[in-house]
Amino acid sequence: MPDRYDLPAGFRWGAATAAYQIEGAVAEDGRGPSVWDTFAARPGAVRDGHTGAVACDHYHRYSEDIALMKGLGLDGYRFSIAWSRVLPAGSGPVNPAGLAFYDRLVDALLEAGITPLPTLFHWDLPQALEDGGGWLNRETAYRFADYAAVVADRLGDRVPAWITLNEPFVHTVFGYALGTHAPGRALMFEALPAAHHQLLAHGLAASLLHEHGLEVMLSNNLTLVEPATSSAEDAAAAAAYDALHNRLFTDPVLLGRYPDLSALGVPDDIFGAVRPGDTDLIHTPGLDGLGLNFYNPTRVAAPTTPGLLPFDLVDIPEAPHTAFGWPVVPDALRQLLLRLRDFYGKALPPITVTENGCSVDESTIPDQPRIDYLATHLDALATAIAEGVDVRGYYTWSLLDNFEWAEGFNQRFGLVHVDFATQRRTPRASYAWYRDLIAAHRARCGR
């Protein structure tokens, strides 16, 4: 069996973060408020009332954080740009100080020999755009393309590849359908126009980035959906869930059409959101790479009580679980990669794993469960590559413990422990393990 040391010679090693989860400095240098500032201030929205107001203070400590990345020997660093730092009201005047921060960050990364991989949208929509309807408003897609142009004009000379959106599935479902993330709307399936408008935003921005000669990826959270039993009812429930979680976001981009959503009670035009020509706008620019954020598979059964949802999500009791309660099934990553290749065939671009990792208990500096998680998932990845799937790189989530959305600081995903009272960074055992793996892999490949 191939393992992580057998990954291809050009395989790129990275780590990932996101702006609201690490930057802090939410009211500094002209940054405008985002939906996450508003949501986190709402009593009861985030566990223990935590907010990202300070987070890891990365806005001021980015040099120290880049030194940690350099210590790992990373090829690339995936971060996100806070739209409301660049355009405080989401559109209109540019904030030079906000843009200058990302300019400094990019230069410091390049200086350290690390390729920047920015994500343009990782859930922190400018509040001013939310006030106009957020992603439920089609206009937001056009404002996103304008924002992409501003940032690409400034950084495109030094940043070769870009990710447009992070996990439109999670943003749509948690942010707009269930309301457990910002902006906190609970519209159930009527949230899906927000998915379409994000995909439209992706397509418009992708065309523009290509005009700048830049490469474009889209990162989504994809899961291996498995029916709980071999019954026809469970198979139908699994297919409905797969359409919602995976295919709704990948089919339009790779195939130029939406999957059949009728089992969810969603009409073909997604409640009037899809206009003639939209799927071409989403599909035609093409993708240079598919970003895969993988954490766990999902087991699905037919609904026990007939109601709104055509599926039940059930536990995977035989698997170990992370501190977050997520099942750990490394082979599901291999199976998912093979499924993507078989399903999309030639339409599938090269894949980069843009997130993978697990949370551990706070006190664990010797974080063996994380080392085991990363090692087994990288072995599964190496096996999928040996079986013919084109995977180019791996960005672990995350470099640092950070603000984990509705969980606040209570779920810790970092290779580096952060003491949020003092901002002291302490590399965990997984940091040394990842550093040594990268060095050993390079040595084996002679680079």
The 8-class DSSP code of residue 172 comes to I
Active-site position among 355, 362, 404, 407: 355
User: Rounded to whole angstroms, how far apart are CA atoms 185 and 174?
Assistant: 8
Examine residue 174 and tell whether it contacts ligand FCB (CB under 6 A). Answer: no
Find the binder of ligand FCB among 51, 198, 221, 352 (CB under 6 A): 221
Per-position x/- string for 326-365, each x denoting binding to ligand FCB as judged by CB under 6 A, each - no binding: -----------------------------x----------
Examine residue 124 and tell whether it contacts ligand FCB (CB under 6 A). Answer: no
Site for ligand FCB in 258-297 (CB under 6 A): 293
Q: Which residue stretch of 56-64, 113-121, 163-171, 335-343 sits at the interface with ligand FCB (rule: CB under 6 A)?
A: 163-171
Site for ligand FCB in 385-424 (CB under 6 A): 397, 404-405, 413
Contact 300, 239 (CB under 8 A): no
Number of DSSP helices (H) and strands (E) in the chain, helices first:
15, 13
- Supply 434's token pair: 């990842």
Contact 371, 379 (CB under 8 A): no
**Least CB distance to ligand FCB at residue 104 (A):** 23
Compare residues 13 and 397 and give the one whose CB is closer to ligand FCB. Answer: 397
Compare residues 23 and 278 and give the one whose CB is closer to ligand FCB. Answer: 23
User: Rounded to whole angstroms, how far apart are CA atoms 92 and 83?
Assistant: 12
Alpha helices (runs of H) in 87-191, residue ranges in sequence order:
96-111, 127-131, 139-155, 168-170
Compare residues 234 and 404 and give the one whose CB is closer to ligand FCB. Answer: 404
Examine residue 166 and tell whether it contacts ligand FCB (CB under 6 A). Answer: yes
Find the binder of ligand FCB among 170, 255, 347, 438 (CB under 6 A): 170
With CA atoms as reference, report the closest residue to 202 among 142, 132, 152.
Answer: 142
Find the binder of ligand FCB among 13, 14, 15, 18 (CB under 6 A): 18
Contact 6, 378 (CB under 8 A): no
Examine residue 323 and tell whether it contacts ligand FCB (CB under 6 A). Answer: no
Residue 120's H or E segment, with its range, is strand 115-121
Token pair 């992070």 is found at 166
- Supply 146's token pair: 């304008």
167 included as an active-site residue: yes
Name the site residues for ligand FCB (rule: CB under 6 A): 18, 21, 166-167, 170, 221, 293, 355, 397, 404-405, 413
